[in-house]
């Protein structure tokens, strides 16, 4: 029995075979947005700078 591959999988395999530079672009984008070192001091400063929210005020049209 042959292994089934969806049309989407086949498309992606063909696309990546024809455009190998896309994989490098994906890695660069991931490094830009996700692969960051954790800076505890920066996070602490961010948390300390938050302004507390006021509670939501409910108004009634009944007077």
Give tens-digit pLDDT for 25-59.
Answer: 999 998 888 888 889 999 999 999 998 888 877 77
How sure is the predictor about 19, in pLDDT bands with cuts at 50, 70 and 90?
very high
Q: Which residues contact 23 (CB under 8 A, 6 or more apart)?
A: 16
Per DSSP, the three-state class of 43 is: helix
Tokens 């498309």 label which residue?
Answer: 11
Tokens found for residue 25: 């672009």
pLDDT of residue 43: 92
- Domain spans, the chain: 7-48
Q: How many CA atoms lie within 13 A of 21 on its CB side?
A: 0
Q: Which residues contact 22 (CB under 8 A, 6 or more apart)?
A: 15, 16
pLDDT of residue 55: 82
């Amino acid at each position: 029995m042959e292994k089934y591959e969806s049309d989407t999988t086949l498309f992606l395999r063909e696309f990546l075979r024809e455009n190998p530079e896309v994989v490098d672009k994906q890695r660069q984008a991931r490094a830009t947005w996700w692969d960051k070192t954790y800076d505890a001091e920066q996070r602490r400063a961010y948390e300390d700078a938050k302004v507390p929210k006021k509670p939501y005020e409910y108004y009634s049209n009944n007077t």
